[in-house]
Chains A and B, each alone.
Chain A
Amino acid sequence: MSAPAAIHAAARAPAAQGASDRGILFDGVGVTFGSLTVMGPVTLEVRPGEFLVVIGPSGCGKSTLLNLVAGTLRPTIGTVHYHGKLVSGPNSDVGYITQKNYCLPWRTVEENVKLPLEFRGYSRRDMDERAARVIRQVGLAGFEKHFPKQLSGGMLQRVMIARTLAYEPATYLMDEPFASLDAMLRMRMHHDLMALWQATGATFMFVTHDLHEAITLADRVVVMSGRPGKIKLVQEIDLPRPRNIVDAQSDPRFSAYFRTLWQALDAH
């Protein structure tokens, strides 16, 4: 993502507080599958434009939070409001990136990236231009005409990211998006993600179980407990912005945050 500033005209304003008509509001939300309570009740407000990271042990309902915002899952109790509206079905305002690859195998990289643009009725010229740009951003230039079968797992993941970038969603939901990437590429993606966040007014909800990743990226980190997942701690990360991922990790506050979060995760 070499020139993200050029993509998104909106310059980043400081995350406004309390503007719930542009934020995401979880109000007493719980999810139960049969007799198994997966999550909740959870009450949480995601501020517009903030970078919120959710961490917690496996199976604590981190991904459930994202599914609720995407509208692919309905809460058993409570409500989720997105930009002031109750979420009651698939929410096409969000870009959802998971580890799963939803590439259509019969479409080339380029055609897969254009898919949401076709759905949204962009003009042909606009599609060509955007697709070329985001494919370059994720480092897949030269692979436009390749089919998914011909790509490695990491490359497919980057196709998924490019496809989301292409339509500039107001909110990015990311569920361990970089888990399948190698360490080098992962760091590069962190760097690019920071630049993207900086350049857009978009809100990010990012799920991980990597503490380093969490502190490096976040404005706030939400720590969830084991099943049923509840919020244990909400930690503001007061590291300078724009954030350089290398400098951030050598900041003395980084290790303090690390210790706080680690303790919150560890204590049962």
Chain B
Amino acid sequence: MPSPQPNFFQRNALNLARLGMLAAFLIVWEVASNRFDAAFWVSSPTAIVDALKRWYEEGNLVADTRATLLEAGTGFVIGSLAGALLGFFLGWIRRLGDLLEPFVLAIYTLPKVALAPLFVLWFGIGLLNKVMFSALLVFFMVFFTTFQGARQVDQEVVTNARLLGAGRFQIWQKIALPFAAVWVFTGLRIGLPYALIGAIVGEFVAANTGVGYRIKEATAFFDTASVFAGLVVLMAISSTFLAILKLVERRALRWQSTDQAATAIATEAKAN
């Protein structure tokens, strides 16, 4: 008979399984790398940890991470603000949206990474260049989802609101904006990795600091362990970003959760 109170292992079965898989993967990596003498190509977990330690001791890890964080973070904020605002206006003002849609699409299909060299010309090789490039990538992601979202505001709901006495501004404020918020968050989630991509690509093209610059430099010296160390740092940064975003989203879009639906109906059944 199963115990009514699940013990520690039962409660965390999924996470323990994940941890086990990760450990197994790292061990296989380490062993295989030594066994087949493939450290030059794939490095090894211990070598990566050493590279990280060296990176830190040289005093560059913190500075590089800070630079990349600053570029990606500022770019993300600028890009998502501009994207959400413009996307909402063009999406909500239907005629303007119809007018501009083909142009917007044309720019959207352009591989934006190809703009990186141009951005060097415009914004130099300093921080500004990476911030702007990161903002550009994020902008398009957020802009597009918000644009599509704002165009999908249910016109019947809007008509119904007018019967309920809503003026034009109130429809904006109480119907269209909250409706679009869901899409803005979707855009933010999609746009977030692009903030990092923008910063890294910017650093690849021209930089003297940052995680991307370190990866490029290490590659030039065939220092595979340091390249992987850079990737580990990037992974940590993006995971942290995403966790924060999810937390904010869960608070802002509380109404979307369906957890309590069943409870509510059961409560009513009891009450009647």
Contact = CB atoms under 8 A, between A and B. Distances in A.
A70 interface: yes
A91 B255 contact: no
Contacts, number: 76
Interface size bracket, B side: 20 to 34
A152 interface: yes
Interface in A80-101: 90-92, 94-96, 100
Contacts of A108: 255
A107 B161 CA distance: 14
B264 A150 contact: yes
Contacts of A115: 161, 164, 174
A118 B267 contact: no
A204 interface: no
Nearest to A96: B163
A120 interface: yes
Interface stretch (A22-30, A35-43, A55-63, A141-149): A141-149
Nearest to B261: A150
B105 interface: no
Interface stretch (B53-61, B93-101, B152-160): B152-160
A102 B156 contact: yes
B166 A146 contact: no
B30 to A, nearest CB: 48
Nearest to B265: A152
B267 A91 contact: no
A18 interface: no
B18 interface: no
B268 A143 contact: yes
Contacts of A72: 159, 163
Nearest to B171: A119
Contact of A116 (B159, B164, B268): B164
B124 interface: no
A155 B165 contact: no
Contacts of B257: 149
A147 to B, nearest CB: 4
A16 interface: no
The dominant DSSP class at the A interface is loop
A70 to B, nearest CB: 6
B126 interface: no
A119 B156 contact: no
Nearest to B182: A106
A143 B264 contact: yes
Given A104-B175, A149-B256, A142 B163 contact: no
A70 B163 contact: yes
B157 A150 contact: no
Contacts of B267: 142
Nearest to B272: A139
Contacts of B261: 149-151
B255 A90 contact: no
B165 A92 contact: yes
Nearest to B271: A142
Contacts of B255: 105-108, 147-149
Contacts of A102: 156-157, 160
Contacts of B263: 150
A119 B265 contact: no
B250 interface: no
Contacts of A91: 163
A91 B159 CA distance: 10
A130 interface: no
B258 interface: yes
Contacts of A155: 268
A155 B263 CA distance: 14
Contacts of B253: 106
Given A106-B255, A107-B255, A119-B167, A90 B264 contact: no
Nearest to B258: A149
A163 B164 contact: yes
Given A104-B174, A116-B165, A120-B165, 12 more contacts: A70-B163, A95-B163, A96-B163, A104-B178, A106-B256, A115-B164, A116-B164, A119-B161, A119-B167, A146-B264, A149-B256, A150-B265
Ranked nearest first, the 9 interchain pairs of A and B with the lowest CB-CB distance are A116-B164, A90-B162, A119-B165, A150-B264, A102-B160, A92-B165, A147-B255, A106-B255, A150-B261
29 contacts: A91-B163, A92-B162, A92-B165, A100-B156, A104-B178, A105-B256, A106-B181, A106-B255, A108-B255, A116-B164, A119-B164, A119-B165, A119-B167, A120-B165, A142-B267, A142-B271, A143-B264, A146-B260, A147-B254, A149-B255, A149-B261, A150-B258, A150-B260, A150-B263, A151-B265, A152-B265, A152-B268, A167-B164, A167-B165
